[in-house]
Amino acid sequence: MQYDMKLTLSEVHSLAKRLLLAQGFNERHANAIANTVTAAERDECRHHGLFRIPFYVNAFRAGQASGDAEPTVTKLAPSIIKVDAHHGFSPLALEVADLPLAELAKETGIAAVAINNALSVSALWPEVERLAEKGLVGFAFVAASPYVAPAGGTKPLYGTNPMAFSWPREGHEPLVFDQASSASARGEIQVRLRDGRQLEEGWAVGPDGKPTLDPATALAGAQLPFGGVKGAAIAMMVELLAGPLVGDLLSFEAGEKDVANTGAPCGGELIIAIDPVRCIENGNRAAQLAHGEMLFSKILEQEGTRLPSDRRYQARKRTAVEGVSVPKVLYEQLQEFSTGEFSGKRFAYEGDDLIKGTAEQKG
């Protein structure tokens, strides 16, 4: 694997935006997706960086994603907002939702946004990190294509169903985690397939329902939730929150609707924001944040520990100076998208060369 292209973050953004515009995305969508892709490259979460451009393009080309739908905001209740993405990709809907949600949480103490009809192929940490930067606690839940078996079962039903959480810090980037409810990322199984490496125990079962360490068998079977029954309960919760709660699709329904098999399912997302200072009586925000810091200090004073988002923030410092490395094979494939001319070649999202150069997402 060669990381032989060096790009600055600004070059990543320009490249992503240029390709998306050339494909027909409008300015606002191209910009929002480029922001998301750049943030992922910046934090070295390459699964969600330039590697994702073909996912956006494929779904657009297949007619499943709108490139110009403007998200609409509706207030459903005093503390609930709905943002309908109208079958556009989620980054713009999430940018549109951000400020109204934050303002509402500050007004009422706790608020939620139901995102509907959004194609989601990005990580969740950007939306919760944004909330924490405004001093809020954030939660996000999204369901996706059916890959993961329920507790005790062996057939795919849940998405990898990530949930993200953020906590604001004073003078430090927010505490953030963003984790799939599956034992492993699907991309990690794809990477091991490519590299001819076995899986870890507990990651997957084959189509026969038996545990497997073979990546191809796993991809044809079902992934397993992390942490057994408890992780499966989290996966089920996420499925309910991002689906029926917000009036959107369950993972298996989203999978059925992705008729072109673009790997860019359309569905819902629930984001909750809490203003911590509204949860205490004395209104002492500084003391409240210092209390959180006390926990983080206690964690970090133990050898071998780190906070969930630390690796991302370290990468962020590094890439601001050094730029990012992009695999040459990916860079060249992306040139396919630099004009409106479409070669007709469809970029598969599984087991493809594009997986080259991806790294496990860093929460």
Binders of a copy of itself among residues 1 to 60 (CB under 8 A) are none
241 and 270 Cβ atoms separated by less than 8 Å = yes
276 near a copy of itself, rule: CB under 8 A: yes
Rg from Cα positions in the chain: 20
Locate 288 and state its tokens.
């409240």
> Could you tell me how many residues of this chain bind a copy of itself (CB under 8 A)?
73
236 near a copy of itself, rule: CB under 8 A: yes
Residues 328-357 that bind a copy of itself (CB under 8 A): none
CB hemisphere CA count around 243 (13 angstroms) = 22
Single out the residue of 6, 197, 230, 317 in contact with a copy of itself (rule: CB under 8 A). 230
247 near a copy of itself, rule: CB under 8 A: yes
Q: Torsion-angle region of residue 330: left (phi > 0), alpha (psi -120 to 50) or beta?
A: alpha
Q: Alpha carbon of 148 to those of 60, 103, 238, 302, 352: distances in Å?
A: 26, 36, 12, 34, 21
298 near a copy of itself, rule: CB under 8 A: yes
Q: Which residue has the tokens 């068998």?
A: 217
Single out the residue of 49, 88, 263, 363 in contact with a copy of itself (rule: CB under 8 A). 363
269 near a copy of itself, rule: CB under 8 A: no
Single out the residue of 207, 228, 332, 353 in contact with a copy of itself (rule: CB under 8 A). 228
E-strand ranges in 101-254 read: 110-119, 137-142, 163-167, 175-179, 204-205, 222-223
By beta-carbon proximity to a copy of itself, the closer residue of 67 and 231 is: 231
Least spacing, CB of residue 259 vs a copy of itself, in Å: 20
Nearby residues of 337 by Cβ (< 8 Å), 6 or more positions away: 19, 20, 22, 23, 53, 54, 57
Query: Taking CB under 8 A as the rule, which mask of x and - marks residues 172-201 in contact with a copy of itself?
Result: ---x-x-x----------------------
208 near a copy of itself, rule: CB under 8 A: no
Name the one range near a copy of itself by CB under 8 A: 23-31, 53-61, 153-161, 321-329.
153-161
Name the one range near a copy of itself by CB under 8 A: 7-15, 56-64, 292-300, 320-328.
292-300
Residues 60-119 that bind a copy of itself (CB under 8 A): 74, 76-80, 82, 107-112, 114
151 near a copy of itself, rule: CB under 8 A: yes
Least spacing, CB of residue 252 vs a copy of itself, in Å: 7
What CA–CA distance (Å, rounded) separates 290 from 298?
12
User: What's the maximum distance between 2 C-alpha atoms anywhere in the chain?
Assistant: 63
